[in-house]
Amino acid sequence: MLRIHFSDNRQAPIWLVDERFTIGQDSRNNLVLADTDISPFHAEIRQDHGLYYLTDCGTAAGTFVNGERVNARYQLRSDDIVRLGSLELTLIDPAKSKPKPAAARRWFLQVITGEQHQGHKFHVTGSMTFGRSVKCEMCFADLELSRRHAEFFLKDEVLEIKDLASANGVFVNHQKVGMAVLQPGDQVRMGSVTLLVIGPKVDVTQTDDEDATLFMTVVKPTAVKPAVQAATVNPMKVAAANAAQQEEVIEARPLNKLLLGVLAVVLAAGGAFAVKTLL
């Protein structure tokens, strides 16, 4: 199976798995390219019994394979180089290709919108400034740009951009940034100019900031009320209390008998006195 590789490394390789694979500017294509010299429907690749055939879709700029213009259906093979406009694609069969030494990383900025330099690619080497000033390596006569609008620079072979306190800002993929690490396929807009980032894939390792404030959620433990314990019964006290009650009952009984006897004597005396009075 063949795989498409981009000579400028603008994006990852693509496997040709579909029976019909179309290329062009129109969003309905399998491979959508923003290059100005690419037609809406530029070319197509078809599979037929395990073979791949390239056809140009009647474009003015044409489609080329290994430097020759394609006028009819062309059979593609591994290591063929296909050129559409200024873009070069290499067809690779991983099962047949030999490993090649890694090429040096190269970064480009291609102008995809703007009144000047349409389609032009700027090769980024070191630090390059962008703005209206003629002293900038990338100079654009755009009134929305500051004189020194932004700076592109390489740091450990990684492309970064820094806003130089511009009036209208720097936007990477529609997000305003002060400084950003760029990846292939990113779109950088400043004023009316939009640049497409072309280069190798970059793995950015995020470093921990030792001075960063850490926020932690503290869960307060629920206060547990101590269980009310039943009073411990002292058997000695219970026995003493029972004994005291029994003594009170025992003492009360003789006293009651005495009171009843006195009451009987009084009643008897009262009765005798009453009889004597009547007589």
Q: What is the pLDDT of residues 201-210, one digit of tens each?
A: 765 554 444 4
Say yes or no to pLDDT of 225 above 60: no
Integer angstrom CA distances of residue 136 from 109, 167, 180: 15, 17, 20
Say if CB 76 and CB 2 are below 8 A apart: yes
One-letter amino acid of 211: D
One-letter amino acid of 176: K
Q: What is the pLDDT of residues 59-95, one digit of tens each?
A: 988 999 998 898 888 999 999 999 998 889 999 988 8
Residue of 219 and 62 predicted with greater confidence: 62
Share of residues in the chain with pLDDT > 70 (%): 68
Handedness of CA 178, 191, 150, 198 (dihedral sign): positive
Q: 117-126, 188-197, 213-222: lowest mean pLDDT where?
A: 213-222
Say yes or no to pLDDT of 253 above 60: no
In angstroms, the CA 110 to CA 184 distance is 11
Dig out the tokens for 147 from the structure: 């004189």
Dig out the tokens for 206 from the structure: 């995020």
Q: Which residue pairs from 47-54 have beta carbons closer than 8 angstroms and sit at least 24 positions apart in sequence?
A: 47/16, 47/18, 47/19, 47/20, 51/75, 52/2, 52/16, 52/76, 52/91, 54/82
Handedness of CA 107, 111, 113, 116 (dihedral sign): positive
Q: What is the pLDDT of residues 13-53, one digit of tens each?
A: 999 999 999 999 999 999 999 888 899 999 999 999 889 99
Per the listing, tokens 């690749």 go with: 45
In angstroms, the CA 97 to CA 79 distance is 8
Phi-psi region of 165 (alpha: psi -120 to 50; beta: other; left: phi over 0): left
Say if CB 110 and CB 196 are below 8 A apart: yes
Say if CB 119 and CB 113 are below 8 A apart: no
In angstroms, the CA 88 to CA 65 distance is 9
Closest listed residue to residue 65, CA positions, set 42, 86, 88, 45 = 88
pTM of the model: 0.43
Say if CB 7 and CB 89 are below 8 A apart: yes
One-letter amino acid of 38: I
Within 10 Å of residue 31's Cβ, how many Cβ atoms?
Answer: 18
The single-letter DSSP state of residue 36 is T
SS3 92: strand
